[in-house]
Chains A and B, each alone.
Chain A
Amino acid sequence: MLRTVKPRNARSKRALEAREAKEIEDVRTAIFVKGTHTGEIVNGVMKELMALKRPDAISFSKKNTIHPFEDASSLEFWAGKNDASIFLMGQSTKKRPAGLVIARMFDARVLDMCEFGVDRFVSMGEFKTPKSTPGHKPMIHFASELFDTHPRFIQVKTLLMDFFNGEVIEEICLPGLEHVISVSLAPAPSQPLPPILSTSQEEENVDNLPKIHIRTYTVSLLPSGTRIPRVELREMGPFLDLSLRRHQAADPEMWKAALRRPKLKKQDLEKGLGKKKKNMEVDEMGDLRGRVHIAKQDLGKLQTRKMKGLKSLGHGTFEDGDHGEDSEGEGESPRRKKRKRD
């Protein structure tokens, strides 16, 4: 297209630039949508997850007829409009009561989705304990070996990490770490879990998959006598028990495109992201100071004063040891001369 959308004023230009693709991305904005019917449980869950996700969350207050696994076009439309890339949908039907769907987008298209059923929900209000400050980054804890082996739980892990914490940051204020989101599984059943064959398989057997327990705690750091403080946890809420339902795995090609990383120079990586120059700093006087590292000097190779008398003798004895030193020494010297001329 020859024509491009041209912003009319500086403000809209800035807004468009903020939406453009960046090398190091911002945190994902989440949209919370309600389906045609959400029960009391789903309403509560969405409200409290939103409280945890704030300020990067947008709430859609109206009900919508959405069936993300059948038709995801409205998700794509909303993602484009709101510059959001993760969705949390709540819907409660007779067939699937108290359902939550987390959908992740790439380039305003659905990358993957996972549906959960809420089995138990304990609200934040039921714990009379201090709560975390909104906007603080949580620490996330996963507990189970399945998060490393089973494809469904690997997906769940990355989805939850993306939902709560998927932002690359350079530094974190240590006293600002206030709360923990802990995700653990019920013990795996004794028989091996059914492997996922394909994504097209509509209703795979999910009854055998263990439940997911999501717990949130506040952290108190107690002095321990060492540099590292001792951690104590207190319940904060919400507490969720989820069971897995349908899912849609990512299209392999799209997944590959989504995992593409910018080429970062090695020195940038060493010094943290975005820093260009290594070993250079400006001191208090405003002078640029550099630090140069040199390898340890080999004094054996140091060129000292050349003396004819020392030359052949020293060379011969050093190289050949107890061989006939006269003949070897003479053979060596013309080669050395030639090399010098080169």
Chain B
Amino acid sequence: MDVSNILASHAAKFQSVTVEKETPLDVDTGFLTVTDLTPIDEDSYKSNLEEYLQMTARDGIQALVAALYSLPTQPSPDGPLAQLPAPTTQLPRAKPLPKPKPPTKWERFAAAKGIQKRVREKKVWDEERQEWVNRWGKDGKNKEKEEQWIHEVKADAPVDHDPVKAARDARISRVAKNERQRLQNNARAQTAAGDREERKKDLEKTLATTRISTASMGRFDKKLDGEKKLRGVKRKFEAAETSVEQEKQASLAVLSKLDGDVKRARREKGSGDGVLNVRKAIRNVSKGKGGIALAREANRKGAKGKRGGKR
């Protein structure tokens, strides 16, 4: 009975798991990447490319797997989960870092006073109903006053006092106040971000628009005290005489706006300015022969004309 091949396969199973290289492999377990900085061996590369590549890859991956299997693991239903360290390679981000949210007025106050943030639970215990109810929202605790069937009214209350309405108004106004504060916080955050000037301009523009947005374009509107007359943009003219230097600058500015041959050609290639369909126009003029044929014809005509002139 020959067991040599069984023995051989058994030995192959327990081949070494260590990799030896002159330069140590650069293993980045965070990105599951290994870099082998050994120069490529030219002889084995040329003699058997695929085998050489697979061999180097196997060595590198063996080192990576060794690094991965020596990490601390956690069991999971699919197998052990290796806890990866932070990657060492620096890859560029896809988006810039998120900017921290500017603090609200309350947050700044709380920070100054050293008030800790406390999360309020959404549910509160209702003694009467013996269950947890929402603090606000559907069947909220904050609507309790409006919904109770009997109200205590003070003896000197006015005749038309409606306790339900009063409670409701108070709640609605609290909501409105919160919303107002939220908007103010937003506006403050924007001024802090540095676009105060922009916001000012925006407000002025809105105000100007609203002032002329009536049927009479603001003519019969009630005027407020100290309200200034709306003025449009005043035209400004350049001085008739300017220095040579200024004149030169102005002319150069105009010239720079004009297109050179190269720029114009490139734009025309992009088929027209939206009004004229250049491609269609060329087809029409050249009777379907195309622009090149047209140009050739024009050249020939020009040449003929010249020759004629000479004669």
Instruction: Check B91 for interface membership: any CB of A closer than 8 A.
Output: yes
B187, closest chain A residue (CB): A2
A221, closest chain B residue (CB): B65
Whether the pair A168, B30 counts as a contact (CB closer than 8 A) is yes
Residues on A with C-beta less than 8 A from B78 are: 173, 175-176
Instruction: Check A21 for interface membership: any CB of B closer than 8 A.
Output: yes
- Secondary structure at the B interface, as helix, strand, loop or mixed, is mixed
Would you give the 0/1 interface string for B94-106, flagging 1 where the beta carbon is closer than 8 Å to chain A?
1111100000000
Whether the pair A272, B54 counts as a contact (CB closer than 8 A) is no
Q: A175-B78, A182-B57 are in contact. Are A137 and B32 (CB under 8 A)?
A: yes
Whether the pair B60, A141 counts as a contact (CB closer than 8 A) is yes
Residues on B with C-beta less than 8 A from A145 are: 23, 37-39
- Cross-interface CB contact of A107 among B40, B73, B83, B96, cutoff 8 Å: B96
Residues on A with C-beta less than 8 A from B45 are: 186-187
Instruction: Check B260 for interface membership: any CB of A closer than 8 A.
Output: no
Instruction: Check A185 for interface membership: any CB of B closer than 8 A.
Output: yes
Residues on A with C-beta less than 8 A from B187 are: 2
Instruction: Check B132 for interface membership: any CB of A closer than 8 A.
Output: no
Whether the pair B33, A142 counts as a contact (CB closer than 8 A) is yes
**Complex Cα–Cα for A173 and B203 (A):** 56
Whether the pair A173, B80 counts as a contact (CB closer than 8 A) is yes
Residues on B with C-beta less than 8 A from A225 are: 14
Instruction: Check A269 for interface membership: any CB of B closer than 8 A.
Output: yes
* Minimum Cβ distance to chain B for residue A213 (Å): 6
Would you give the 0/1 interface string for A167-181, flagging 1 where the beta carbon is closer than 8 Å to chain B?
011111111110010
Instruction: Check A310 for interface membership: any CB of B closer than 8 A.
Output: no
Whether the pair B33, A185 counts as a contact (CB closer than 8 A) is no
Instruction: Check B56 for interface membership: any CB of A closer than 8 A.
Output: yes
**Complex Cα–Cα for A1 and B93 (A):** 26
Whether the pair A21, B96 counts as a contact (CB closer than 8 A) is yes
Residues on B with C-beta less than 8 A from A12 are: none
Q: A139-B33, A141-B57, A224-B14 are in contact. Are A106 and B93 (CB under 8 A)?
A: yes
A171, closest chain B residue (CB): B81
Residues on B with C-beta less than 8 A from A141 are: 33-36, 56-57, 60-61, 64
Whether the pair B15, A224 counts as a contact (CB closer than 8 A) is yes
Residues on B with C-beta less than 8 A from A107 are: 95-96
Whether the pair A143, B83 counts as a contact (CB closer than 8 A) is no
CB-CB contacts below 8 Å: B68-87 with A: 68-70, 73-74, 76, 78-84, 86-87
Q: Which 6 A-B pairs have the closest CB atoms?
A: A258-B92, A85-B94, A182-B57, A175-B79, A21-B95, A143-B36
